[in-house]
Chains A and B, each alone.
Chain A
């Protein structure tokens, strides 16, 4: 995790965010078919993602992106780098 005090943002991965958190994607570290699927579903650099909530056993997690909801397992969300604003 990096903290950038100049513009009050920090970079982290999607899986570490709490429900209700909004962030902007800056990179996808997945490879092969998984990355292609993520890109096709709108998980692309620049997209805004909001965490909705996790399933009862903690996995998967529901996110809102591009005006619709999708679920991702934590192991997959860990591959998505995001930028969050720090209040």
Chain B
């Protein structure tokens, strides 16, 4: 038995999914996409029922990854019943998708969620007309209060009939459906899809195309537009039957505060700066504590055991990876996910995207990119994880390049420790200036050359609501565990490989080989290359390793100001840290991760070399 939850974005599908399945959520990547399907099991009357949470879509006929996935899912997997989740507060628009799903002819249950919010807005919801017209069960729920959630599974199990709806289309479309049906023996749904260019049979598509062209020339409107308009009209009639407005919604509109220049912009800046400050202060405080704790209670006792050198190297590599992973994961990832979940659940995220879109658009992205880019100043890891908020793959790829270039707090340590400490404050700021200019140039170039679909900035402004602490913590926790279970193993592996390279003296050989190049290109001694490589593990380690290899913490005594400056610039631009690479792999795939890595290494070496040759 398999049940699928389908609906518009932010109608409460995931919340219902979590309540139906309890814990034990399994995340799986659907082949060929980065969009996720969540699958979970529940037991009802000793039968195991699989529940699938499909990504939110507005239609089944679009070209986005999500729509593709949902369409393929409905066509290819055997689903016993679909549960269409709709928001009672935006019923008219939600019914458009519902009608499309109904035309698919699968057994169906309708869930009208958020009735609590609808009641607050003075909307009176009557499930009767929908039930009569569609001939399926209609359940009113408030998922955040758990209201009527227990009725969903029994209704889905009992659902055996598809909805019986027939949308009245324009008479030209109806005539086309009839003649395609006669010619090819296809049903209504298939004829409609063929008229819009979907389907497998080339002859059917050819015939449908001819008819569609004729209708288009007569109506001066495409078939897709006519069909969409007919469906929306029908949806409006259904919505009018279902929703009664009892009293007009309250007057004061918080959006007039949040999306106006004053005070909208100051609020946005305050939110972004607040986000950063909390990571700099709370995050780095916690990180230091965890790192210190590990050092004292794990690394040193382990070293005191005096094991065989190879075992010791392996053990230390594992410990360092754990230290880096937990040091980043616990404070930064968790903290940021708490913040992101609050921004998402409150609905502020869409307001931030609305305000920042103008600037982000110039860099080739959606306004929503303001969040990952700001987060990146704290730590690139959660920033990369949050590029999922962007709707198209094109924007996610651009964002992944830009985010990895943003100087995170660890890179700030390098800039502060090496440049500000030994060269000067102005020089430290100039490093930031160089990086910002490169980010803007990269964005401008990528936005021009990147292929891929553009969906523009068509964004639903979701209603503002008070986030529930319990739900926020749950969401943050599930994202944290995702990082721990998926990124940590890769981090461990990388660390062990680096440790072994070091142990077998491959690093020393490597230093000998690269010395002529680092000297020639960057004017840096061979051991700085080792420091750069260790910087991949954790950015600050480039600093620590350099000091160890140079034999003194007073770097100014052994390296010139120019050398230190060049080293810092290269480290800051150089490959993102291993933790970032592991999340990149997960979010954008190996090809893009490789591209980002090659690009940042090249950029670091080029800019470093340029500075070296300019000033020496």
Name A residues whose Cβ lies closer than 8 Å to a Cβ of B.
27-28, 32-42, 44-47, 52-53, 55-60, 62, 66-73, 75-76
B503 shortest CB reach to chain A, Å: 53
CB < 8 Å neighbour of B93 from A27, A28, A55, A66: A66
8 Å CB interface, B230-260 against A: 232-233, 236, 239, 255, 259-260
Bound complex: CA A58 to CA B224 (Å): 31
Bound complex: CA A75 to CA B357 (Å): 13
B354 close to A (CB within 8 Å)? yes
> A28 — nearest CB in chain B belongs to which residue?
B225
Bound complex: CA A69 to CA B89 (Å): 12
Bound complex: CA A70 to CA B220 (Å): 27
Beyond A56-B261, A66-B92, A68-B93, is A39–B225 a contact (Cβ under 8 Å)? yes
Name B residues whose Cβ lies closer than 8 Å to a Cβ of A.
57-59, 61-64, 90-93, 96-97, 220-221, 224-226, 228-229, 232-233, 236, 239, 255, 259-261, 264-265, 350, 354-355, 357-359, 361, 367, 453-461
Residues of chain B within 8 A of A66, CB atoms compared: 90, 92-93, 232, 236
Residues of chain B within 8 A of A28, CB atoms compared: 225
**B58 and A40 contacting across the interface, CB-CB below 8 Å:** yes
B455 shortest CB reach to chain A, Å: 5
Residues of chain B within 8 A of A37, CB atoms compared: 58, 62, 64, 455-456, 458
**A60 and B260 contacting across the interface, CB-CB below 8 Å:** no
> A70 — nearest CB in chain B belongs to which residue?
B460
B585 shortest CB reach to chain A, Å: 27
Inter-chain contact count A-B, CB under 8 Å? 131
Beyond A37-B455, A76-B456, is A60–B357 a contact (Cβ under 8 Å)? yes
> A58 — nearest CB in chain B belongs to which residue?
B358
**A68 and B232 contacting across the interface, CB-CB below 8 Å:** no
A51 shortest CB reach to chain B, Å: 13
**A67 and B93 contacting across the interface, CB-CB below 8 Å:** yes
Beyond A45-B221, A55-B354, A75-B456, is A39–B93 a contact (Cβ under 8 Å)? no
**A76 and B457 contacting across the interface, CB-CB below 8 Å:** yes
**A68 and B461 contacting across the interface, CB-CB below 8 Å:** yes
**B359 and A40 contacting across the interface, CB-CB below 8 Å:** no
B452 shortest CB reach to chain A, Å: 10
**A70 and B461 contacting across the interface, CB-CB below 8 Å:** yes
Bound complex: CA A68 to CA B226 (Å): 22
Residues of chain B within 8 A of A34, CB atoms compared: 454-456, 458
B268 shortest CB reach to chain A, Å: 9
**Max chain A Cβ within 10 angstroms of own Cβ: one of B96, B226, B265:** B96
**B457 and A71 contacting across the interface, CB-CB below 8 Å:** yes
A30 shortest CB reach to chain B, Å: 9
Residues of chain A within 8 A of B260, CB atoms compared: 53, 56
**A69 and B461 contacting across the interface, CB-CB below 8 Å:** yes
**B90 and A36 contacting across the interface, CB-CB below 8 Å:** no
CB < 8 Å neighbour of B232 from A32, A47, A62, A70: A47
**A62 and B461 contacting across the interface, CB-CB below 8 Å:** yes
**B229 and A73 contacting across the interface, CB-CB below 8 Å:** no
> A52 — nearest CB in chain B belongs to which residue?
B255
Residues of chain B within 8 A of A36, CB atoms compared: 59, 61-63, 224
**A68 and B90 contacting across the interface, CB-CB below 8 Å:** yes
A54 shortest CB reach to chain B, Å: 9
Residues of chain B within 8 A of A55, CB atoms compared: 259, 354-355, 357-358
Closest 9 CB pairs of A and B: A40-B59, A56-B261, A39-B228, A57-B358, A40-B58, A69-B461, A33-B63, A44-B229, A36-B62
Bound complex: CA A52 to CA B253 (Å): 12
**B460 and A39 contacting across the interface, CB-CB below 8 Å:** no
B443 shortest CB reach to chain A, Å: 17
Bound complex: CA A55 to CA B324 (Å): 41
Residues of chain B within 8 A of A40, CB atoms compared: 57-59, 61-62, 96-97, 228
Some 23 contacts from A to B, beta carbons below 8 A apart, are A27-B220, A33-B453, A33-B455, A34-B455, A35-B225, A36-B59, A36-B224, A37-B456, A40-B97, A44-B225, A44-B228, A45-B225, A52-B255, A60-B358, A66-B92, A67-B90, A67-B91, A68-B461, A71-B354, A71-B357, A71-B457, A72-B457, A73-B457
**B261 and A41 contacting across the interface, CB-CB below 8 Å:** no
Residues of chain A within 8 A of B457, CB atoms compared: 60, 71-73, 76
**A56 and B229 contacting across the interface, CB-CB below 8 Å:** no
CB < 8 Å neighbour of B357 from A41, A59, A69: A59
